[in-house]
Amino acid sequence: MTRHRLASALACLAIALPAAAASPSPADIIKQSKPADWRPLDPQNTVVMEVNGSPVVFELAPRFAPRHAANVRKLVQGGYFSGLAVIRVQDNFVAQWGDPNEESEDKSKLRPLGAAEAKLPAEFSIPYQGLPIARLSGADGYAPVTGFVDGLPVAADPKRNRAWIPHCYGVIGAGRGDTVDSSNGSSLYAIIGQSPRALDLNITVVGRVLKGMEALSSLPRGGGAMGFYDKPEQNVPLGKVRLLADIPPAERPAFEVMRTDTATWRALAEARRHASGDWYVHSAEHVNVCNVSVPTRPLAQPAS
Amino acid sequence: MTRHRLASALACLAIALPAAAASPSPADIIKQSKPADWRPLDPQNTVVMEVNGSPVVFELAPRFAPRHAANVRKLVQGGYFSGLAVIRVQDNFVAQWGDPNEESEDKSKLRPLGAAEAKLPAEFSIPYQGLPIARLSGADGYAPVTGFVDGLPVAADPKRNRAWIPHCYGVIGAGRGDTVDSSNGSSLYAIIGQSPRALDLNITVVGRVLKGMEALSSLPRGGGAMGFYDKPEQNVPLGKVRLLADIPPAERPAFEVMRTDTATWRALAEARRHASGDWYVHSAEHVNVCNVSVPTRPLAQPAS
């Protein structure tokens, strides 16, 4: 917890944690990974959203919410979000963006949805059976099974044959009203605090932020009920919100993401159970699905 | 997730969640609480720290870290923290404050510790036996037992007879270097994201923020390694940092805190396992210790 934290080893700590010292650390596993352990951003499935000039890069989850993912894609490609705003930031909960006129009496002020659908079914879970999940061992409390699919955290209940994306930090969902089918992806939120898992299976999750969370998580909290900004001038305008495919290649974010369907990933997720590094004197020998991050790394620059 | 969320009940949802509808909701329990279910702020145990003009109110944990709590109290009362700065904000992890000259070669620049001690023993855990814990049912993963003591989240391992404060959102710890006894409370951090429970039993926890977290959690993230601010001008200066006892009564924060050693608290913590409100269609029937917040409420104003 100081700058010294990563400094030189102390023999006594190595003795205190022999198991951790013997297994490869997450850093070692990442270092020893092969090119095939990584994947590029999917141009059709990645959104780049400018918040205060900083790019928030997020990935959609078509396997878990195909209708919503397709609708968000249409909204983004139609320019729906560009120039809209973050309208709500509730501490230790969510940052939410969409049309500031959503609650206006005068519906003519609303930005039109274009080619996107106004009404979609709820997509709260998918079947567990057949899901290629990289399971995480250990107790979760909220779900009997947790793990990763498509780079996303996943929780599942095999007995009820359902799986869903848990509300971990950085997960993005589609705001809804009182009816389960009242979301269409035109208002989205990202989790900015302790995972509010009570939301799981109550709302449609559409994806996850890959990079740039701090542009959302460090925004001023709203003073209104549920963290909505009190006054229109507090809303934080969004700049361009574009599908990666629609961004000129030279302007695209230049990073790749670790795959979660490989032996390397399984070793990495398992390694996160152990404390690693000389600073630690105790190892929890456990990790929650919401505490396992999927690594990204800059793309190697082509030789010029 | 919209402003409509708290709106009118839908019959179909009441049918979907009969158990939740039958048990009193957290809001009901708070509403029906008695004056004896609440406690005032302890003037000797509460710190008010100004960050960007906003008060962050935190409570020390003398039962869990007596030496550190006493030292932080001395540092605060000696004016040590006033005018120092937040020097590190790492996204989804911690905001840390202390002396910006901590890492300087020239130790003469360091603010003197005054009456406080420079060296303290590590206080990572206390005995579990005899601890008056209000236990929370259900799995945690990181610890066999969780619950609440003195308004603080607690995790415990009865077999090893130890208990500790888990690193939940808003928990405050004392930064240390590579040796376990290298913290003295002169550099503190607060958790601002998903609970990093791997820190548990590795560092001394000194308390918890009761109010004003957003003044820390919404700060710009640091661009340096581990979220330290790159440049001195990025450090966020602290205003006055005072013990509540040293603040004139008229200027003191006017709120009280729910006790966690009452039947009301046990009912409230239990009720947080159930989804409550008409918006929910699924109830997790589980809650993690880091997802249970201890309510505060404004003090009743005396009639004037």
- Position of tokens 């879970």? A125
Q: Which residue in B has a C-alpha nearest to residue A214's C-alpha?
A: B91
Q: List B residues 273-292 in contact with A (Cβ-Cβ < 8 A).
A: 275, 278-282, 284, 286-288, 290-291
In this structure, which amino acid lies at residue A52? N
pLDDT at A108 over 90: no
What would the pLDDT profile of A15-74 be if each residue is shown by its tens digit?
445 444 568 999 999 999 999 999 999 999 999 999 999 999 999 999 999 999 999 999
| A contacts of B221 (beta carbons < 8 Å) | 214, 217-218
User: Closest chain B residue to A222 measured between Cα atoms?
Assistant: B214
Tell me, yes or no, if A53 comes closer than 8 A to chain B by beta carbon.
no
Per-residue pLDDT of chain B (304 residues; tens, 9 = 90+): 555 443 333 333 334 454 445 689 999 999 999 999 999 999 999 999 999 999 999 999 999 999 999 999 999 999 999 999 999 999 999 999 999 998 788 888 899 999 999 999 999 999 999 999 999 999 999 999 999 999 999 999 999 999 999 999 999 999 999 999 999 999 999 999 999 999 999 999 999 999 999 999 999 999 999 999 999 999 999 999 999 999 999 999 999 999 999 999 999 999 999 998 889 999 999 999 999 999 999 998 665 5
Q: Which domains does chain B have, with CATH numbers?
A: 7-37+267-292 (no CATH), 42-103+111-123+170-254 (2.40.100.10)
Nearest chain A residue to B171, by CA: A194
Confirm if A177 and B4 have CB atoms less than 8 A apart: yes
Supply the ipTM of this predicted assembly: 0.93
Interface of B with A in 216-275 (CB under 8 A): 217-221, 225-226, 228, 275
Cα separations in angstroms, A101 against A50, A87, A107, A111, B28: 20, 10, 8, 8, 33
- B187 contacts on A by Cβ (under 8 Å): 1-2
- By the 8 A CB rule, do B204 and B20 touch? no
The dihedral sign for the CA sequence B290, B291, B292, B294:
positive
pTM over 0.80: yes
Which of B2, B204, B218, B221 is the best mutation test for A, with the most CBs of A within 10 A?
A: B2
Residue B47 near chain A (CB below 8 Å): no
Q: Nearest chain B residue to A281 by CA: give it.
A: B202
Our measurement of the distance from residue A255's CA atom to the centroid of its chain's CA atoms, rounded to an integer in Å, reads 16
B residues 110-149 closer than 8 Å to A (CB)? 124, 138-142
N- to C-terminal Cα separation, chain A: 40
Cβ separation of A178 and B92 shorter than 8 Å? no
Residue of A nearest to B285 (CA): A142
Contact across the interface for A202 and B280, Cβ inside 8 Å: yes
Helix/strand/coil (H/E/C) assignment for every residue in chain A: CCHHHHCCCCHHHHHHCHHHHHCCCHHHHHHCCCHHHEEECCCCCEEEEEECCEEEEEEECCCCCHHHHHHHHHHHHCCCCCCCEEEEEECCCEEEEECCCCCCCCHHHCCCCCCCCCCCCCCCCECCCCCCCEEECCCCCCCCEEEEECCEEEEEEHHHCEEECCCCCCEEEECCCCCCCCCCCCCEEEECCCCCHHHCCCCEEEEEEEECCHHHHCCCCCCCHHHECCCHHHCEEEEEEEEHHHCCHHHCCCEEEECCCCHHHHHHHHHCCCCCCCCCCCCCCCCCHHHCCCCEEECCCCCC
Nearest to B176 among A2, A196, A275 (CB): A2
- How many residue pairs bridge chain A and chain B with CB atoms within 8 Å of each other? 186
